[in-house]
Structure 1
């Protein structure tokens, strides 16, 4: 998308802005060039900044490019302006969906891309600026399926209040507003039908795909089935499955009383005494925010909420950096323990990943520049701008970089613990959804070795 012109194209009798044709997309993917500029201090003169541009080139056959475009369509990143369902016609006109615009914006922010045509589409009124950023398992890339995470997705899916939309059209713009829930139809409860709101399977699957970072339609069926299994929703017709969600217009579901409580529509009962942690006498309160931060980072559901909070407060980069350093550390350990003949190449790739991390978060003027100690920033700049010589020097460089990244990660952890986490746990939007956090933080503290507590 960054390398496509995204210009206006004529469709019937009007011009549609920020669009592209099938042929433009397939040709572009066939010989894709992606350029990125990085600003770094001059190693010979720290007062000067040197800009280096890296260009990455990809190439693929036309059929493969067409298949990739089809995947973009299935993931709801792009949509046809003319109602087309494939990329077979060269002149078919396509545009980014609201979801696609938001995903592109996150990518551009992460990589410091500020092309005029991309900025124009991101600034357009079609950018939803609200998307449920789902957490994935780093090993399998599958969505997390724990009950807390599913309940958080359900709250976003249902909305803070009922979305009683009158329209039931198949418009491609039906789900462009991601800060309201799925379209619901209101009913008058009766002795036969105790429920108040219903929706059909197609709308539910559409909302999940359009308003979250799901990339495969099967994932929406997966999440819908979990809504059923957790008794958050149920089929209107008892002949339909209570376990397997059906993403079709003919199958209707209602929100259960339990679902309404989870959504926050009904007042919940007062928490049981077991939910409230007893105050510890061994000093757990002294460092409770560090323990909370550790638990939040490890728990996918609380991490999802915390990321939303950080995005709203304009400091999501802190969590992103912390997690990316964790991924880098796994890659680094594999590289130094590699016993194969490709060890040198593995180290080179890991060092390249380190430069990517540095340029995104730590270099002066980087797109997501972090607030870290000046002396640590200077050490990083000195290390990252020093030339790398032979294989032994490359390994030494990687070891030094990994050590500096660990220091930067610790610095960001302390910053989150002292600033954003205390604000997060007290925020009225999230406080009610963090039940059990303090108990988990206290347990984590007790599990720590005595030496680590001081």
Structure 2
């Protein structure tokens, strides 16, 4: 059984590919390349490729997912389902796509020399730590085991721990609320200041220190600006370098957007404006991504980063105090008088809150990655996206049903098929129902195929409900005991306290009440 799909990349309103499709295209290209060793000027570069190889492969690129399983009606018969996705483009378009890969810091010249434009020939490239991380996540999801890719992923070059930014599933825009911004900012600042002895080191173009995604932005210990000496400052360029290298940002515009949010929320402030850049780019009055623009962390920024002590709202009593975080930590325990049913309902409410809040979802995703069960959240969110596409199918378009069914096979082969790379823990009956339906989902005409697709969507909903219950009962109770959850939950309660006292809330009261404290009640 073979299902083939070919479609245009989804584009955002500002004319760039959706991030998910963009990363999948990049990873598919990397899998197609040999990533062999090349020798240039007496030096050998491992896991490298040429401009010509990348452009030629993008001209006709295919990615197939296959799954072999016994026929539910006849176990002696093996059914193989294969989904093939094809990308094709002209050479100039391929060069433009490679330019975007370079701008997103997925790839870099093997000799590390900076270039502004992707040359169509004569250059040698390697994946950056960010690009390797993107490729690794793609391979884990799709069960890719090609030898050259496995060698790269197991090499010392695979060091990055990217900040996986949350995006709107419809517009692909980054989440911009205060709490999400502060979560990103904590990683940007680092657990301790990354101070350099002099300006020449802190302001250098080298980004090798950012290879792990944990080290914070480079700071100059002292910097003389006119007649003042400024401590622990950084340039606008250093800021955007960190945001582009250590987050799933895909263009400079997004890094500038995040840096502006840092300023708007009072986490950093300007000490020297690049007036020439502002004159040329009036929209950059708040933040300039240049070496001439200098910034420092505010007192609030240092508190949010955890560099200095801060008072925090207790999650249970609503009291403030220097030991608030310690009280909050003890309050995540379920009350003794709660029945098991009450506890399950509370965890269900908490999981709903986590899924609806970008900041909590970002932290929950990182927690699941650390505990090796990120596939549960990935499947849940992928089904949400699949359902959105299913309910908005335009049946007048000849390939709409076929494309959606191909997406269904992609989900099935990644998460639900026996032996799939991210196989989920669902009950045997549902797995059998799913296997039976998927072995006969492809039909000869669109009407019959749409009927099959509706059945598949119903089964996906059942699987999604089971995964939701699994997360609520297993990982959520562990997650809400982590310091990171307590920290963000305290911020949410702080915003609500400000709203109730008549202050200027940084998130609306109606929104904050959807994210309960760890004892299940929001203090009044």
**Partner residue, 1:394:** 449
Q: Distance in 2 between matches of 1:445 and 1:205?
A: 31
CA contact (8 A) 1:195 1:255 kept: no
Q: Distance in 2 between matches of 1:301 and 1:330?
A: 22
Q: Residues 13-65 of structure 1: CA distance to partner in whole angstroms, max 9, x if unpaired?
A: 11010001111111111222323332333355336654444444332211111
- 1:19 maps to 2:48: yes
**Partner residue, 1:160:** 191
CA contact (8 A) 1:292 1:437 kept: no
Runs (5+) with no aligned partner, structure 1:
447-454
- 1:327 maps to 2:382: no
Q: How does 1:52-451 map to 2 (within 5 A)?
A: 52-82=81-111, 83=113, 85=115, 86-88=117-119, 90-166=121-197, 167-168=201-202, 169-171=204-206, 173-187=208-222, 196-237=231-272, 244-271=286-313, 274=318, 287-335=345-393, 338=394, 341-342=396-397, 345-386=399-440, 388-389=442-443, 390-435=445-490, 443-444=513-514
CA spacing shift, 1:328–1:357, aligned 2, 3 Å = same
Q: Distance in 1 between matches of 2:122 and 2:383?
A: 44
Q: Distance in 2 between matches of 1:142 and 1:383?
A: 35
Q: Distance in 1 between matches of 2:81 and 2:338?
A: 55
CA contact (8 A) 2:33 2:57 kept: yes
Question: What TM-score, normalized to structure 2?
Answer: 0.77
CA contact (8 A) 2:59 2:91 kept: yes
CA spacing shift, 1:195–1:173, aligned 2, 3 Å = closer
CA spacing shift, 1:251–1:94, aligned 2, 3 Å = same
CA contact (8 A) 2:163 2:184 kept: yes
Q: Distance in 1 between matches of 2:41 and 2:415?
A: 46
Q: Distance in 2 between matches of 1:146 and 1:333?
A: 28
Q: Distance in 2 between matches of 1:64 and 1:200?
A: 34
CA contact (8 A) 2:223 2:233 kept: no
Q: Residues 216-241 of structure 1: CA distance to partner in whole angstroms, max 9, x if unpaired?
A: 11111111111111110111237878
CA contact (8 A) 1:186 1:196 kept: yes
CA contact (8 A) 2:263 2:269 kept: yes
Aligned length: 440
Q: Distance in 1 between matches of 2:343 and 2:120?
A: 64
Q: Distance in 2 between matches of 1:255 and 1:444?
A: 31
Aligned residues: CA RMSD: 3.0
The structural deviation recorded for 1:133 is 0.2
Q: Distance in 1 between matches of 2:407 and 2:206?
A: 42
SS of the residue 1:265 aligns to: coil
Identify the range of structure 1 (288-297 vs 345-354) with the bigger mean alpha-carbon deviation: 345-354
CA spacing shift, 1:188–1:443, aligned 2, 3 Å = same
Identify the range of structure 1 (254-263 vs 27-36) with the bigger mean alpha-carbon deviation: 27-36
Identify the range of structure 1 (72-81 vs 53-62) with the bigger mean alpha-carbon deviation: 53-62
CA contact (8 A) 1:136 1:142 kept: yes
